[in-house]
Structure 1
């Protein structure tokens, strides 16, 4: 009887998980489309749906509805589903990282990217002492100032390559100097963001033990070398052989298994799982391009379309606006100002030095200030590492939403982009054009 009761309870948890996923997908689609009507990326609506379903809005009603709809024993299952989608998405991001986007603007793109990261990172670290005392402990565990400040600087440094690619395509800015340069710079930004996240992961995992940090660093170098020197040629040989015999189902299964295994390995080493998934995608062969796009990448895109909204809404469920104090509101304003100033100044200065007009340089800064999904991934990684408490997570998610939402309206008001006749596809989940080479996000 006990076994039957246990089986029944497990079945009920799964049933609630299925119902929650159905609610999440419908709410995300509805709010996402509504966001598009206001010329916003769909991800803004999907995160907003999570905020509405969480303690910030639904939790204000009597009956503790968020806890009833998303019970505590079901939330880990919902989070696990979202993490699988995230790992597979990061595999695609790494796979579709295109060097050809960078080559035409390599020197200037590197300058814009490095300067914008350096200024934003420096301002984030400078802000950290004013926030640290209030957020130095997470779930009873002390967080070192170095880990907190490094992560805050990393969060300020991010530019979302996927959302930027879609904004440029939909508004016909790909051929403009600011558009093409921002895309190349954002590609470098994303790559550096994952490296910074890997460093923060190692720093937190080592708990201030320099011998442990050295071990993580050594294992990470061995892992990267193994992926580039051993895994890359093996995967290339496998892809060409199985593509020639059209063993697509087997190939897709092996590649997904490879991404998940690589994510497990980097977690074991002490750096975050998404770095492993990204690097496994990075070492993937790009040829034969047409058949891989049809038989491998497209099915992976479909998985992302279903599972990524779960990730967005799970992120929104963790946002609790009601928990913010008056001091937190001031801190939130400071975070948004610092985040915008870092990217705008860091992008405008090198652009002006390269001969861009003030108008073009400002457009570039606004484009580089978009954070989107990349920021959300890093924030969730920080939560899983125990670096962020709930209030700081809430403030940084709001910052990500503000900086993502402001680019389109500000560029439109400045006359940089035309007002579209109809809302386009989601910059976070729709497939960008083939000539952009951006990930299907």
Structure 2
């Protein structure tokens, strides 16, 4: 019997059914991985890959195309972007300057060294594999863009995933946990800056365009700092203390989306606008903001972020990898692990951190998770990554994140019961990581 609904109505209905499937499958995979001692985010990423061409798409009739038809995918992508932008806002908001205050020299040394080594190794690897991945959708990717992007992708440490791992292992209030959180926070800010540069170079058609994007970016930063920040502080202070949560949540969400529009219009990705808005968002009054902003946004993310994993999974095609690609994948994983673990552990050892704690720090700084997926999706949208390169980088993100689970129990000390002075409050790390 032929449906009486129009094509547009059927498409929307399909999107709603897809979201339902995503939530159920993501929840089941997340619980399964949780029981194995892994962050829930890994299960949700695996669910996305399983529903994509790597597994479900291999069955007769290609069920992936039936369940997630081409007409529905733009809607799914739009839904995923809403959850992603709210998540990036929370990531920016989670950057607490207090965690850097203690042992500044070691924190900065660990962060800068881990980024420098990972970035350098990433650029070096790019020079070896560029020839095989230079063409994306019929267009040649400039080597500078490819190399800078790969270096930035290797430099990422997933702050939210790291926070969840520290909470699960009882390491949040230890010295190594505090150092890892502070270093990861700085790492992510620097990596986002590098990625913003890559996005500007990729978007620019020539030197004039690049100068224009740079000028507009500086103007955006100036407006956010000099105008939006004090205005936002005044509004938040007034509305939060009046206990009008709906008004404040609407105001902040609108600000996130407008800031994302502004960075897109400037020529860099929308996620930078969401992150920047979170970065300038006031942290006080803490309890009122937790109830009126953090909890509602995290709840929205619980529904919308799994859609992002599915959209990502639809672009992962493990079956398309060749033997040469698996050699490249091994090199990618090796470079990723060496860059972050050695880059973080070496300066920590040199500055007096015990060897056991330094090795633990290196393992923690190597986690990438959801943050890496965001970076990789930016690479796809910029036309920097082909399907094989995207697939290999997603696998690297999963492997480096999953490594922490089995390795930490052997490396980490039993944490003290007392709270380390200057360590972040439990609620800060735990709330940032609830999605993981």
List runs of 5+ in structure 2 lacking aligned partners: 416-424
| 1:334 and 2:331 aligned | yes
- The equivalent position to 1:433 in structure 2, one of 406, 412, 426, is 426
Match of 1:384 in 2: 381
Match of 2:89 in 1: 91
Q: Residue by residue, what CA displacement relative to the aligned partner does 1:339-362 show, whole Å, maximum 9, x if unpaired?
A: 001011101110111112322211
List runs of 5+ in structure 1 lacking aligned partners: 419-431
| 1:66 and 2:64 aligned | yes
C-alpha separation between the residues in 2 aligned to 1:161 and 1:234? 28
- The equivalent position to 1:19 in structure 2, one of 10, 17, 20, is 17
Match of 1:374 in 2: 371
Q: 1:254 to 1:306 in 2, by over 3 A?
A: same
C-alpha separation between the residues in 1 aligned to 2:289 and 2:26? 29
C-alpha separation between the residues in 1 aligned to 2:156 and 2:249? 31
User: How many angstroms does 1:316 deviate by?
Assistant: 1.7
C-alpha separation between the residues in 1 aligned to 2:161 and 2:414? 15
8 Å CA contact 1:32–1:46 kept in 2: the answer is: yes
Match of 1:245 in 2: 242
Match of 2:420 in 1: none
C-alpha separation between the residues in 2 aligned to 1:132 and 1:366? 28
Match of 2:344 in 1: 347
User: How many angstroms does 1:117 deviate by?
Assistant: 0.3
C-alpha separation between the residues in 2 aligned to 1:161 and 1:435? 12
C-alpha separation between the residues in 2 aligned to 1:59 and 1:300? 33
Q: Residue by residue, what CA displacement relative to the aligned partner does 1:250-285 show, whole Å, maximum 9, x if unpaired?
A: 221121111001101101101110000111111111
Q: Secondary structure at the match of 1:198?
A: helix
Q: 1:66 to 1:257 in 2, by over 3 A?
A: same
Match of 2:120 in 1: 122
C-alpha separation between the residues in 2 aligned to 1:438 and 1:192? 22
Q: Secondary structure at the match of 2:358?
A: helix
8 Å CA contact 1:197–1:272 kept in 2: the answer is: no
8 Å CA contact 1:97–1:439 kept in 2: the answer is: no
C-alpha separation between the residues in 1 aligned to 2:302 and 2:177? 26
Range 119-128 or range 236-245, more displaced: 236-245
| 1:303 and 2:300 aligned | yes
C-alpha separation between the residues in 2 aligned to 1:288 and 1:38? 38
C-alpha separation between the residues in 2 aligned to 1:352 and 1:243? 45
Q: How does 1:27-426 map to 2 (within 5 A)?
A: 27-207=25-205, 209-414=206-411, 416=413
C-alpha separation between the residues in 1 aligned to 2:429 and 2:253? 24
Q: Residue by residue, what CA displacement relative to the aligned partner does 1:78-115 show, whole Å, maximum 9, x if unpaired?
A: 11100111011111221222111111132211110000
C-alpha separation between the residues in 2 aligned to 1:435 and 1:383? 32
Q: 1:357 to 1:382 in 2, by over 3 A?
A: same
Q: Secondary structure at the match of 1:285?
A: coil
Match of 1:429 in 2: none
User: How many angstroms does 1:437 deviate by?
Assistant: 7.2
8 Å CA contact 1:160–1:186 kept in 2: the answer is: yes
Match of 1:425 in 2: none
C-alpha separation between the residues in 1 aligned to 2:177 and 2:92? 22
Aligned residue pairs, count: 423
User: How many angstroms does 1:130 deviate by?
Assistant: 1.4
User: How many angstroms does 1:123 deviate by?
Assistant: 0.2
User: How many angstroms does 1:196 deviate by?
Assistant: 1.3
User: How many angstroms does 1:375 deviate by?
Assistant: 0.6
User: How many angstroms does 1:156 deviate by?
Assistant: 0.5
C-alpha separation between the residues in 2 aligned to 1:145 and 1:252? 43
Q: Residue by residue, what CA displacement relative to the aligned partner does 1:13-45 show, whole Å, maximum 9, x if unpaired?
A: 000000000000000000000001110111111
Q: Residue by residue, what CA displacement relative to the aligned partner does 1:198-221 show, whole Å, maximum 9, x if unpaired?
A: 1111010013x1221111111101
C-alpha separation between the residues in 2 aligned to 1:156 and 1:322? 24
Q: 1:260 to 1:108 in 2, by over 3 A?
A: same
8 Å CA contact 2:56–2:63 kept in 1: the answer is: yes
8 Å CA contact 1:159–1:371 kept in 2: the answer is: yes
Q: Once superposed, which parts of structure 1, at least 4 consecutive aligned residues long, lie more than 6 Å away?
A: none
User: How many angstroms does 1:417 deviate by?
Assistant: 6.4
C-alpha separation between the residues in 1 aligned to 2:151 and 2:90? 26
C-alpha separation between the residues in 1 aligned to 2:101 and 2:51? 44
C-alpha separation between the residues in 1 aligned to 2:26 and 2:430? 26
Range 170-179 or range 398-407, more displaced: 170-179
Q: Secondary structure at the match of 1:40?
A: coil
Range 238-247 or range 123-132, more displaced: 238-247
User: How many angstroms does 1:319 deviate by?
Assistant: 0.8
